[in-house]
Amino acid sequence: MRTLLLITISAFLLVSCGDKRPKQANVSLPNFKTTPYFYVQLKGTLAGKNITMELTKANPAMYRGYYMYDDIGEPIVIWGNQDQNKMLVLYESTEEKEERFFTGILDSAGVYKGKWRGKGTTYDYTLHPDMKEATPLSVYYGEDSLKLLAGHPNSPVAVATNAIIWPAAGEDEATAAFIRNTVTGNPVLDNPVRYLRRDIDSFLITYKTTESDLDTTQEIPATASWSADADMRVVYNQYPYLCVESFSYEYTGGAHGNYGSIYKVLDLNKKKVLTTDDLFKPGYKEALPALLEKAYRKLFSVGEETALKDMLLVDSIPVNDNFFITGKGIGFCYTPYEIGPYAMGQITLFLPFTALKGYLK
């Protein structure tokens, strides 16, 4: 088993912003050229509109996160890496027929400057780190692998990677403990290295138990190699709210892997993970499916003449507790098979606050 690679970077400066926020010790910005893993909130303009980007580098070669137009507040997924010219290229998944992406230089101070391409045009942008109203976070990463058949030259292999966010140094202990407990699900697990090690080892140990079931008399099938990838991303970060996504993918043989995102909305002031009951008035579970259906039809260009059951696995789209919030609305996420077939992928439906008037507490 390879040695587990673990690096942590405390990601930021936080300036106390108002009496509601506990005072923080100032943390210097990292050098974004030399720091291998980090989280940063960037702000600037694109096409004359203010945008906010939540960018995480929690993998040796991959950057992931979200950005949103501040006046709309709907998160747009971004992912990418540095090209051969050291330009950071971040793609977004908004149009199937057209690539839209950022291409620029992320300098050592965290300034991300370049050109955005899409909609048949190009816009310049300059984004700056801005953590004045955000909660600083650290990033931990781990990976390991295991051969199923020790000593076999063609042994199948399991590879597991994991990345998590963690409270940054200087965070007040009550808030730090709340974030840690939300990440791990166990207040005893207060060490990120041990937490990552446990998660990765669990997958590899399970893989090792399949050795006795593998038929080695003929060619070893490609499906005998497993993989597990997990990471955490910030969707929205404006005190007292911190919304995080835990994404995971596992392949354990068969036709395809399984994946999905779990979102949690943290109220750092109340030290509470919010539920839909905390946000909506009674009766919302009966009222919101109509709004979710409207959002679905718009997203997938489905006309009213087509019944939902002809496209989905359900007659109506239920409200679930897998949601995120931003300053402009609430999004509900449905993992593959939850409401639609695997081929449809994960479905995320965003409802602006303007459409939710009368239902919010």
Q: Give the pLDDT confidence score for residue 20 in this predicted structure.
A: 58
Q: Give the pLDDT confidence score for residue 221 in this predicted structure.
A: 87
The SS3 of residue 22 is coil
Q: Give the pLDDT confidence score for residue 152 in this predicted structure.
A: 86
Q: Give the pLDDT confidence score for residue 17 in this predicted structure.
A: 38
Q: Give the pLDDT confidence score for residue 21 in this predicted structure.
A: 63
Q: Give 218-255 as a DSSP string.
A: SPPPGGG-EEEEEEEEEEEEETTEEEEEEEEEEE-SSS
Encoded amino acid at 191, one letter:
N
The SS3 of residue 42 is strand
Distance between CA atoms of residues 179 and 167, nearest Å = 6
Q: Give the pLDDT confidence score for residue 215 in this predicted structure.
A: 79
The pLDDT tens digits along the chain (361 residues) read 444 444 443 333 333 333 456 555 455 788 999 999 999 999 999 999 999 999 999 999 999 999 999 999 999 999 999 999 999 999 998 767 789 999 999 999 999 999 999 988 999 999 999 999 999 999 999 999 999 998 888 899 999 999 999 999 889 999 999 999 999 999 888 999 999 999 999 999 999 999 988 877 778 888 999 999 999 999 999 999 999 999 999 999 988 999 999 999 999 999 999 999 999 999 999 999 999 999 999 999 999 999 999 999 999 999 999 999 999 999 999 999 999 999 999 999 999 999 999 999 9
> What tokens were used for 218?
């003929």
Q: Give the pLDDT confidence score for residue 9 in this predicted structure.
A: 39
Q: How many CB atoms lie within 10 A of CB 1?
A: 10
End-to-end CA separation in angstroms for the chain: 52
Distance between CA atoms of residues 126 and 118, nearest Å = 17
